[in-house]
Amino acid sequence: MRYGPALWRIPPSWTTPFRLPAALLLVLVGLLSSCGGGGGDGGEVASTPVLPPLVTSLGAQNYVPVTVEAALNLNVNIPTVSVTLCEPGTNTCQTIDRIQLDTGSTGLRVFDTAVTAINLAAKTYSNGQPLATCARFVNSYTWGAVRTADIRLADEIARNIPVQLIAASAPAARVGCGPDFMAVTSSNDLGANGILGVGRLPHDAQSYYTCTTLSDASTCTEVALISSAYQVKNPVAGFATNNNGVLLELPAISASGALRVTGRLIFGVDTQDNNRLASANVVPINSFGYFTTTYKGVAMPDSYFDSGSNGLFFNDASLPRCSGSASDFYCPASTTALSATLPLSDGSSATVNFSVANLAALVATGNFAYANLAGGGISGSSFDWGMPFYYGRRVFTVMVSKTVGSRSGPFNAYAPLD
């Protein structure tokens, strides 16, 4: 099961199946020339694509700005929002910027070092002991205490819900995480100050523990079959209205990318004038959030949409890999036009056209948003429709057990941005 950001890095000597390390931008062109060169539009930094102002007939604001720019570790294709956390039932609050927006996971997770102006109470289990959680992602995990907070996003408030404060250190491998996964313990690991998971689940269904000492695994006992009341919660599910899902809108960008992109995350689907499903392509998903992508005649049944992945990730032996530590990414000699088909709820299918550019050529532009970044998948049965898919589209995520008209979630949907 897939949770949270795929921490694909363009390596420290490069920049990401993860994120783009700092001063390396200046040396990447030379280091990456062995990847085949070519591709892209050259070295110019693109202008900043923005969406037109949003006009709604309703007074309450149900959306927040989304920004894609240089991540805190200079990684690329990292969408972020600002989130306000409050001590429950009070106006004692702190706004934390640069929180990664992730449609592939559930719940708010913030580094404990970023929470400096408020005191969030520990979430305790029925035995009176404080809870901790280990949240597993594709190739990483976060460990930390469960706290309670009011979460404010625009005019929406999720009251008294469990969140995770990510610890700056993690004990030895946790059940459900394993030694082969990297512990995310700092904003430099992630490229952001935390993760806002607004995926299909109302609660995260991760591993939970009661611990006497958070940093000492020997004091922790796993809680089996923990009730959803104790689990880190999708903030959208906690809103009084506009709580059935989200819509992510991002403008289209050029083949050479953009230095900075601004879009918006809209709460609710078909609940206000600004989040109408209308004639969007509806993609049914199973209980794990998967659907089948057909690519070059191969069915990939474990496919998913995920703004937490900074590229399109799928396996294609005909696409040349980049060299060295960037071998998770593709480096074709020139930009390659491709397509795949997705199933729709009416039994038909839709074709999605996309392109794969050379990573070295993209990095040489100095931009941080790319619509044609791609790499190899985690298995032959998966196609990860990451951030490049979102540019120039309206992409909906409807949660489990929520409804939109006569349709029941979970499902995804997408439409070109008008």
pLDDT of residue 25: 29
Cut 0.85: pTM above it: yes
> Does residue 238 have a pLDDT over 80?
yes
Residue in 338, 323, 332 with CA at minimum distance from that of residue 383? 338
Residue in 13, 37, 19 with CA at minimum distance from that of residue 357? 37
pLDDT of residue 140: 85
pLDDT of residue 11: 42
Which residues have a Cβ under 8 Å from the Cβ of 372 and sit 6 or more positions away? 255, 335, 354, 355, 356, 357, 362, 388
Which two structure tokens, joined as six digits, stand for 405?
């008209």
Mean pLDDT of 53-80: 84
> Does residue 59 have a pLDDT over 90?
no
Mean pLDDT of 358-377: 95
> Does residue 2 have a pLDDT over 50?
no
Q: Is 111 left (phi over 0), alpha (psi -120 to 50) or beta?
A: beta
Distance CA 5, CA 78 (A): 10
Mean pLDDT of 39-44: 37
Distance CA 409, CA 418 (A): 25
Reduce the DSSP state of residue 33 to 3 states and report it: helix
pLDDT of residue 47: 58
Mean pLDDT of 39-53: 55
The band of 377, judged by pLDDT with boundaries at 50, 70 and 90, is: confident
190-202 confidence digits (pLDDT tens): 999 999 999 999 9
Whole-number mean pLDDT of the chain? 87
The band of 258, judged by pLDDT with boundaries at 50, 70 and 90, is: very high
The band of 88, judged by pLDDT with boundaries at 50, 70 and 90, is: very high
Mean pLDDT of 325-344: 96
- The tokens 């990318």 sit on which residue? 257
The band of 115, judged by pLDDT with boundaries at 50, 70 and 90, is: very high
Contact of 415 with 279, CB cutoff 8 Å: yes
Residue in 175, 79, 165 with CA at minimum distance from that of residue 136? 175
Which residues have a Cβ under 8 Å from the Cβ of 287 and sit 6 or more positions away? 400, 410
> Does residue 34 have a pLDDT over 90?
no
294-332 confidence digits (pLDDT tens): 999 999 999 999 999 999 999 999 999 999 888 999 999
Q: Are strands 140-153 and 131-136 parallel, antiparallel or unpaired?
A: antiparallel
Which two structure tokens, joined as six digits, stand for 410?
């979970």
Contact of 204 with 363, CB cutoff 8 Å: no
Which tops the pLDDT comparison, 163 or 51? Answer: 163
Q: What 8-state DSSP symbol labels residue 6?
A: B
> Does residue 358 have a pLDDT over 50?
yes
User: Exposure pattern of 347-386 as b/e (b: 16+ CB <10 Å)?
Assistant: eeeeebebbbbbbbbbbbbbbbbbbbbbbbbbeebbbbbb
What DSSP assignment string belongs to 384-408? EE-HHHHBTEEEEEE-TT-EETTEE
Residue in 289, 375, 285 with CA at minimum distance from that of residue 76? 375
Which residues have a Cβ under 8 Å from the Cβ of 34 and sit 6 or more positions away? 323
Contact of 35 with 364, CB cutoff 8 Å: no
Which tops the pLDDT comparison, 104 or 219? Answer: 104
pLDDT of residue 171: 72
Which two structure tokens, joined as six digits, stand for 76?
């690329």
Distance CA 78, CA 66 (A): 10
The band of 169, judged by pLDDT with boundaries at 50, 70 and 90, is: confident
267-281 confidence digits (pLDDT tens): 999 999 999 999 999
> Does residue 24 have a pLDDT over 60?
no
Residues paired with residue 395 on neighbouring β-strands, in sequence order: 248, 414
Q: Is 268 left (phi over 0), alpha (psi -120 to 50) or beta?
A: left
pLDDT of residue 216: 79
Which residues have a Cβ under 8 Å from the Cβ of 50 and sit 6 or more positions away? 251, 261, 262
- Give phi and psi for 302, each to the nearest 5: -105, 40
Distance CA 97, CA 94 (A): 10
Which two structure tokens, joined as six digits, stand for 206?
């991760």
- Helix residue ranges, H only, 261-383: 359-364
